[in-house]
Amino acid sequence: MSNRKEFYINIVLFRKRLILRTISIFLINLLLLGWTVITAPKENTLNYLAICTIVLVAIGLFLNQNFKRQISILKNNYLEFNNHILQWYTGSGECTTINLKRVQKIERDKYRGFDRFLLMEGNTPHIILNLIDSEGFQSEIENITQLKIEIFEVDRKKLILKAFSFFLPAVLGLGFVYFRYIDIRFFFLILTVNSIFFLIQFSEKRTRGGFSESTVRRSTIILFMLLAYQLLMLV
């Protein structure tokens, strides 16, 4: 006898969080590039403005495309239990089938503030993120698999201190700028390098609950472009 139960993705919460994150990233880049233009030599201000505008437009287009892509991926997604079979339906009509009898371990943690389940069936886990009823899903899947879900809590204070340590050189550089030991352009150069190392270290592969690999890859490409531009301006 079939025992079907459905669980839906909380797309409303996801959209709100994604909008806030996208705006924050854009404003940070706007601030950095704006400051670069303001502090540029007066004779090169127009050149700085033109190049920074192109970089900012590229960042805006990337963020907009990334926003639409993520929303389209999760729109109308839902999961359905059919006895020991878990089926994941997407808005595009695709369906991923997971045989829960083959699942060896289940973990639960937080990813960008969302509840996340990782169903281990070999080396690559099935990731289920941001369900409306996470507690009900946990109860159902534990009942079917007879596995106890391992819950991982992220030490936010430790993560914040670790993140701050990556930007410590930039903070020291800002102090040198204040006392006029170095040019402001060197500070932004250091900040860009710190940001690249920060993204790589806080990727999902290195830090649990970190940035997705696609986000790290695309963001580092933009930062390397910015770094090349900053080096060019120092020559």
Asked whether residue 209 carries a pLDDT value surpassing 70, the answer given is no
Judge whether 175 lies within some domain.
Answer: yes
Return the SS3 of 148. coil
User: Into how many domains does the chain fold?
Assistant: 1
The pair of structure tokens assigned to 131 is 């369900």
Judge whether 170 lies within some domain.
Answer: yes
Judge whether 124 lies within some domain.
Answer: no
- The confidence score (pLDDT) of residue 113 equals 76
Judge whether 161 lies within some domain.
Answer: yes
Helices marked H in the chain: 11-38, 45-74, 134-145, 156-166, 168-178, 184-201, 213-234
- The confidence score (pLDDT) of residue 155 equals 66
CA distance 177 to 165: 19
Judge whether 115 lies within some domain.
Answer: no
pLDDT band, residue 1 (cuts 50/70/90): very low
Closest-CA residue to 193 (of 185, 203, 182, 204): 185
**Across 59-73, average pLDDT:** 84
| pTM of the predicted protein model | 0.61
Judge whether 195 lies within some domain.
Answer: yes
Residues spanned by the domain of 176: 154-235
For 196, half-sphere exposure in the C-beta direction (CA atoms, 13 angstrom radius) is 14
